[in-house]
Chain A
Amino acid sequence: MDYELPTEFDIIIIGTGVIESIISAAASRIGKRVLHIDSNNYYGGLWASFNLDAIQKLATVEETLNEGLGNTFFNVKNFEIEWHIPSETPPESTEWSRQSLLKESRRFNLDLAPKLQFARGDFVELLISSNIARYSEYRSVSRVLTWLNGQLETVPCSRSDVFANNKVTVIEKRMLMKLFLALDSGEEDYHNYENKTFRAFLTDKKLTPNLIHYVLYAIAMCTDDTPCLQGIKNTKRFLDSLGRFGKTPFLFSMYGSGEITQAFCRLSAVFGGIYALNQPLKGLILNGDNFEGITCGTQEIKAGVLVMGAEKAPPHFIKQHPKSSIARAILITDKSIMESEKEHLTLLLYPPEGGKNSCVVLELGCLTGTCPKDLFVVHLISRQVEGPQNDFKHIIGNLFGPEKANILWSCYFSIPDSNDLDLTVETPKNVTLCPGPDLDLDYDDAVRKAKAMFTDIFPDCEFLPRAPDPEEIIIEGETSDQDNVELKAESAKTEE
């Protein structure tokens, strides 16, 4: 280490997951002295992206525990990696081999927790209002698919989709439009449906089975048991986000979802947050029910507040252990699940089937910056029932194989879900634990949690006000060697 860390901060944040990083950015932004530290040598924790080489290595260190701080309750589990191609092929061969794929390792950005963003969701609004949007780029999801009657079907979610969809009859199109208009106008009366399911509501609307499938499983992302009001809310959310950035309501961050945490960390650093990864975190300094600091290597670092990822907490802070897990699979394939002239960024909402939960399938091509040309990365995400291999068997059987896309490499794992646990029970009052990835498609809930935690720690402080653009920063005394530098953010519009 070239430099020693400073030893006094207002707040120490351990772990670089999404919620920790948002809090870090928000605290730095209002001038708090922030130390943001991680025992990993990469950003993102359970929300990170890895190249092909790195994710393979991750599988082998899964159960190791940092000396001192951390617990194993939230570790990624059931890691299984399998190659479906030979380790080498003859030099003249154009087939992929393990060797040729690993040569492209760096072009892969494989997310532990892939996410999409609703174009008009809280997360996107926060990115724009805080000016953090400038640290990352996005691509819009170009089609939404579902699995219906034994095949893939495009979900009509834009006007052109509706016209292009020859599986939807003219009468069905009218039904669908009527429903959307009614939901959008807010005039519809739902009070008879408070105790009924969304499926019951759609059935009462006399929608055809196909339309019920589209609306229930794809647009509203519900199950057969989802209460009506929740289904209505979900549908509205989908419709609200249409027509802003692309043909569908969804955006994907280029180079993988792992970049998201880094965007918030960058803002935190720009406003003075100190970053240190790969740190030997030994333990916490506690005085009764009060957190006073951390021990990092041989240094003692003090702060009034600690925020940490749940997986970094000492085991005795965790009263409740995870009850459920997120089943995950990452596949590298040689073709799209539904081939087309142009490269698509595909979201497939696979309905519940035979006791298995519904599944989000995300297919990313090279234009997303997550894989090399001519290959695709496919993510599967579901609430775990038996285990990732068994939970996805039927889907993988239906989507891949001879005559279809081939799987070159597969990786299965489970992420324990810490979002339905009460993480406040056993922690000192000035310590906040952040949950890891949830099953949501998007980050909106993570933003809400981060904001609530921030407001709890710093009441009456503004949450991520707009950061000035570089040209708005005026440096005073810039030609003098003696004067202190003073950064002054002018209000946004004074010059115009």
Chain B
Amino acid sequence: MAKTYDYLFKLLLIGDSGVGKTCVLFRFSEDAFNTTFISTIGIDFKIRTIDLDGKKIKLQIWDTAGQERFRTITTAYYRGAMGIMLVYDITNEKSFENIKNWIRNIEENASADVEKMLLGNKCELEEKRQVSKERGEQLAIEYGIKFIETSAKASIRVEEAFFTLARDIKAKMEKKLEASNPPKGGHQLKATEPQRKPTNWLSRCTLL
């Protein structure tokens, strides 16, 4: 079967509970919004394939499955991630302060060259704002990452955010590909692997 994409990028969403990670994910993957998510039950990851400079890029975006609530994100969650969206809520000071903790967590567990981006979500709630845009920008500069304010509810700049992250990963990857061929990772186990032929190996050996 022909591959329907040129690149596959694994992206993660990280940030405190209730900042709207799942809403951002749904806005981007389904162009839908719902405020009644209590947590992220049942959501594993979503996929959307985008076009970028003539290349088809399949974005596999993973949600935290609620494991961020008590700071229990597994180390396995970070494996193989190429990009991370750090999300806070502009109406929630604490969620902004915690970005530093999440970055520390990423530094401890994710690959050193993972592409990061900072999202200040819920920017439609201007009247409830606790974190100014300038502070968001300042923090992003501190960590040398890009920053964008979004609204999953009002559908503001969510597309732009994911496209920016994807473009940066693509650029980094193409630069790396030119330099060398990266080592292959492991295999995913699928039931569609070669079916068992019980006597295959043995029967061929009867030639001996």
Residues of chain A touching chain B, judged by Cβ–Cβ distance below 8 Å, are 1-3, 5, 43, 106, 120, 124, 127-129, 133-140, 158-159, 162, 170, 173-174, 177, 180-181, 184, 239-240, 242-245, 251, 253-255, 258-259, 262-263, 265-266, 269-272, 274-278, 366-369, 467, 470-471, 473, 475, 477-485, 487
Contact = CB atoms under 8 A, between A and B. Distances in A.
A177 B205 contact: yes
Contact of B34 (A159, A473, A480): A480
A367 B76 contact: no
B205 A271 contact: no
7 contacts: A138-B186, A140-B187, A255-B75, A259-B75, A272-B42, A277-B72, A478-B30
Contact of B189 (A106, A240, A245): A245
Contacts of A473: 42-43
Contact of B186 (A5, A254, A271, A479): A254
Interface string B53-78: 00000000000011101111011110
Nearest to B66: A269
Contacts of B181: none
A243 B197 contact: yes
A266 B77 contact: yes
A133 B188 contact: yes
Given A243-B201, A481-B34, A485-B34, A177 B70 contact: no
Q: Which of A162, A173, A174, A270 has the most CB of B within 10 A?
A: A270
Given A43-B72, A265-B74, A483-B36, 7 more contacts: A106-B108, A138-B187, A240-B196, A262-B75, A266-B77, A276-B70, A470-B43
B144 interface: no
B37 A485 contact: yes
A86 B11 CA distance: 41
Chain B interface helix/strand/loop/mixed: loop
Given A269-B66, A471-B47, A479-B32, A245 B193 contact: yes
Chain A interface helix/strand/loop/mixed: mixed
A180 B69 contact: no
Contacts of B189: 124, 127-128, 133, 138, 245, 251
A396 to B, nearest CB: 29
Contacts of A173: 205, 208
B19 to A, nearest CB: 12
A479 B74 CA distance: 32
A148 B109 CA distance: 41
A484 B201 contact: no
B26 interface: yes
Interface in B146-200: 183-191, 193-194, 196-200
Contacts of B69: 2-3, 274-275
B202 A136 contact: no
Given A244-B196, A259-B75, A274-B66, A181 B206 contact: yes
B102 interface: no
Interface string B94-116: 10000000000000100000000
Contacts of B44: 134, 270, 467, 470
B41 A487 contact: yes
Nearest to B94: A2
B17 interface: yes
Interface residues of B, number: 55
Given A263-B76, A275-B72, A475 B193 contact: no
A137 B42 contact: no
A475 B183 contact: no
B204 interface: yes
A167 B24 CA distance: 62
Contacts of A477: 34
Nearest to A373: B183
Nearest to B192: A128
A158 to B, nearest CB: 7
A258 B183 CA distance: 22
A129 B191 CA distance: 8
Contact of A481 (B36, B200, B206): B36
B36 to A, nearest CB: 6
Given A128-B189, A181-B202, A470 B79 contact: no
B26 to A, nearest CB: 7
Nearest to A275: B72
B76 A159 contact: no
A135 B193 CA distance: 17
A473 B44 CA distance: 10
Contacts of B9: none
Which 3 residue pairs are nearest across A and B when measured between Cβ atoms?
A137-B186, A262-B74, A269-B65
B16 interface: yes
B201 A262 contact: no
A244 to B, nearest CB: 6
Contacts of A481: 33-36
B49 to A, nearest CB: 12
Contacts of B194: 243-244
A480 B39 CA distance: 17
A276 to B, nearest CB: 4
B146 to A, nearest CB: 25
B34 A259 contact: no
B46 interface: yes
Nearest to B73: A275
Q: Which of B17, B71, B194 has the most CB of A within 10 A?
A: B71
Given A184-B198, A266-B77, A478 B208 contact: no
Contacts of A277: 70-72
Contact of B196 (A120, A129, A258): A120
Given A128-B190, A254-B79, A276 B34 contact: no
A214 B185 CA distance: 31
A266 B184 CA distance: 24
B80 A137 contact: yes
Contacts of A244: 193-194, 196
A184 B202 contact: yes
Contacts of A483: 34, 36
Contacts of A255: 75-76, 79
A133 B145 CA distance: 33
Nearest to B184: A367
B185 A137 contact: yes
A170 B79 CA distance: 46
B72 A475 contact: no
Contacts of B80: 137
